[in-house]
Amino acid sequence: MDQFNSYMLNLAPIAWRAFTALPAAGAYAVLDEQHIVGNVHATIFGEYTQGAPTGSVRLLFEFSPYSVDQTAPALSWFPMMAYGQGAPAAGALTVSILEPEVVTFDPVTANREGFIFDFDVPSSVERIRVSVAELGVVGTPGSCALTLLISER
């Protein structure tokens, strides 16, 4: 019985489920926003259906250290970042790169396909949001559904 109770306590709660027909012209649609207590693990279960052959979907993950949007000119949302470490060379500065990162799901069939994406959320984050956009055939967008699960690290 103790093993069962322990298993039940570790189930990840569903934070939200969202579905959208993707906007045309590659525009982003914000699927949802979630208040969280940082230092957690997030898992996205996604489904994408192509609107035309060679279509794919792009996901933009953004984080906010604020519980509410800030007044301009302050930024409220910050994208997930990709870091590339430069190659050290004697007698020269090492140049590394930090760039906003988006995640693309490129299906292998024209049918609805699923994907999963995991990431850790830093302790300073109070909100997370996910936006999606059609990539590839932006004139014939498909549809996307996401389920966000939050669990302890």
Question: For the chain, what is the mean pLDDT?
Answer: 89
- Read off the tokens for 76: 């409220």
Bond from prior residue into 73 cis (ω within 30 degrees of 0): yes
pTM of the model: 0.84
Q: For domain 13-152, which architecture applies?
A: Sandwich (2.60)
Q: How confident is the model at residue 1, as a pLDDT? A: 43
Q: How confident is the model at residue 8, as a pLDDT? A: 45
pLDDT band at 39 (very low <50, low <70, confident <90, very high): confident
CB atoms within 10 A of CB 45: 15
3 state DSSP class of 74: coil
* pLDDT digits 0-9 by tens, 62-111: 999 999 999 999 999 999 999 999 999 999 999 999 999 999 999 998 88
Lowest mean pLDDT across 33-37, 41-45, 66-70, 85-89: 33-37
- The answer to whether residue 5 scores a pLDDT higher than 50 is no
Buried b (16+ CB within 10 A) or exposed e, 112-151: ebebeeeeebeeebbbbbbbbbbbbbbeebbbbbbbbbbe
Residue type, 46: G
Q: How confident is the model at residue 14, as a pLDDT? A: 77
3 state DSSP class of 142: coil
Select from 50, 32, 39, 58 the least CA-distant residue to 147.
32
- The answer to whether residue 10 scores a pLDDT higher than 70 is no
- The answer to whether residue 152 scores a pLDDT higher than 90 is no
Q: How confident is the model at residue 12, as a pLDDT? A: 63
Residue located via tokens 């590839």? 136
